Amino acid sequence: MPKSLLNNRLVNITAGLLLVCVLGWLLVIGRDILIPLIIAIVIWYVLDTVARYFQSISLGGFHVPRVLAVLLALAISILLVLLAMDMIATNARSLAQDAPSYQLRIEAKINHILGVFAPDVKLNMSRFNDLFNLEKLVSWVVSAVSGFLGIASLVIIYIIFIVSEQAAIPKKITALFTDTEQRDQVNATLDRLDKNIRTYLTVKTFVSLLTGVLCYIVLALFDVNYPAFWGFIAFLLNYIPTIGSLISVIFPALLSLVQFDSYLPFFGVSIVLTMVQFSIGNILEPYLMGSRLNLSGLVIILALAVWGAIWGITGMILSVPIMVIIMLLLSSMPSTRPIAILLSSNGVIDEENNN
């Protein structure tokens, strides 16, 4: 290999690594601005998908106008958010009232287990009162809701501007790319990106909703406390790849262990919820999603860790859509196409495999 070519490659690799470091730094320091913007874009995608569904409904040849369809989708979303917040607040108050009895049950369970292996050891849960401090629990919930409302106002502003700018995007692309071939390539890439993101959000929302409903039914059948709350938590956590489904099983299972004197509900809840999560996550979701995302499983796990470290829970939820965008953008340029191939699950990133 010629020395000049080797030097050029080293320079390109070094420049790429520096660019990644700078972008990572910008993502961290700009999280307060970027997170609401990304959330707004995701919500806009959901609202736009629902609005398109409303527009597709035909009543005697009449189709719902675009503006009315968007307003209907927005009204339904706001109603669902308000209901969810009311449910969380109600369950937080109930949990605060029941926490002392749970503390006694936890102490009794642990002492019962210790009695088998170490009869002389007794655990006094009063040492851990800070973990069961009801005032802290309620104040944490209030502060979390207040923080959410603060972000929600900024998200709503972003959504309004995104909707107002939506119609101007094709005109801007036409003005930016005067070459017809280049403009067609950009439009094709954006169409693929739009289709993949909509597919992911639609399928993920459907399977998350199904997971939450089934979780509620299972917990209600086993008479576990707060089944609607845990169903909602399962719905949210299902957006987090891999670990979300695991967490949504652990917490209600532990509650059943504390709530009942018998260990049978604990084993029943654990087994049934695990079966539900496995069936949906490993059979139904891949079937509905198909090979459209084409992301390597290792890449998904690494993305979960990286974006979780950068943006916390929000980064974990958005890790897969972000990686889909990155892979499609990399695949559209010959110089970065090898990186896209490494990110893919089967090494094939041709356009026909993404349609």
Write the DSSP assignment of 81-107 as a string of letters: HHHHHHHHHHHHHHHHHHHHHHHHHHH
Q: Are residues 247 and 346 in the same domain?
A: no
Structure letter (DSSP) for residue 1: -
Q: Give the pLDDT score at 217.
A: 95
Q: Are residues 337 and 214 in the same domain?
A: no
**CA neighbor of 94 nearest in space, from 36, 40, 138:** 138
Q: In this structure, what token pair is assigned to residue 99?
A: 């926490």
Query: Looking at the DSSP assignment, which residues form a beta bridge with residue 295?
Result: 344
Interatomic CA distance for residues 94 and 259, integer angstroms: 14
Helices 180-221 and 243-259, packing angle to 10 deg: 10
Interatomic CA distance for residues 305 and 313, integer angstroms: 10
Q: Are residues 39 and 159 in the same domain?
A: yes
Q: Are residues 38 and 163 in the same domain?
A: yes
Q: Is residue 3 part of a domain?
A: no
Interatomic CA distance for residues 37 and 156, integer angstroms: 10
Q: Is residue 60 part of a domain?
A: yes
Q: Give the pLDDT score at 354.
A: 42
Q: Are residues 281 and 204 in the same domain?
A: yes
Q: Give the pLDDT score at 328.
A: 77
Q: Which residues of the chain have a pLDDT value below 70? A: 1-9, 96, 103, 114, 116-150, 290-293, 348-355
Q: Are residues 325 and 278 in the same domain?
A: no
Q: Is residue 12 part of a domain?
A: no
Q: In this structure, what token pair is assigned to residue 299?
A: 């890449």
Interatomic CA distance for residues 117 and 64, integer angstroms: 68
Q: Are residues 326 and 286 in the same domain?
A: no
**CA neighbor of 300 nearest in space, from 241, 346, 348:** 241
Q: Are residues 43 and 149 in the same domain?
A: yes
Q: In this structure, what token pair is assigned to residue 203?
A: 């399928």
Q: Give the pLDDT score at 210.
A: 93
b/e for 158-195, b at 16 or more Cβ within 10 A?
bbeebbeeeeeeeeeeeeeeeeeeeeeeeeebeebbee
Helix (H, G, I), strand (E, B) or coil at 226: coil
Q: Is residue 11 part of a domain?
A: no
Helices 180-221 and 169-176, packing angle to 10 deg: 150
Helices 297-331 and 31-56, packing angle to 10 deg: 80
Q: Is residue 19 part of a domain?
A: no
Interatomic CA distance for residues 325 and 328, integer angstroms: 5
Of 236, 271, 290, the last residue of a domain is 290
Phi-psi region of 39 (alpha: psi -120 to 50; beta: other; left: phi over 0): alpha
Q: Are residues 64 and 85 in the same domain?
A: yes
Q: Are residues 134 and 232 in the same domain?
A: no
Q: Identify whether the C-beta of residue 304 lies closer than 8 Å to the C-beta of residue 295.
A: no
Q: In this structure, what token pair is assigned to residue 70?
A: 């968007």
Q: Is residue 17 part of a domain?
A: no
Q: Are residues 133 and 193 in the same domain?
A: no
Of 145, 167, 189, the last residue of a domain is 167
Q: Is 273 exposed, middle or buried (0-12, 13-18, 19+ CB in 10 A)?
A: buried
Q: Is residue 87 part of a domain?
A: yes
Of 264, 290, 316, the last residue of a domain is 290
Domain hosting residue 211, numbered range: 178-290
Provide the number of structural domains found in the chain: 3
Measuring CA to CA, how many Å separate 189 from each of 116, 130, 186, 333, 352? 63, 53, 5, 10, 12
Q: Is residue 18 part of a domain?
A: no
Q: Is 104 exposed, middle or buried (0-12, 13-18, 19+ CB in 10 A)?
A: exposed
Q: Are residues 56 and 128 in the same domain?
A: yes
**CA neighbor of 280 nearest in space, from 237, 326, 315:** 237
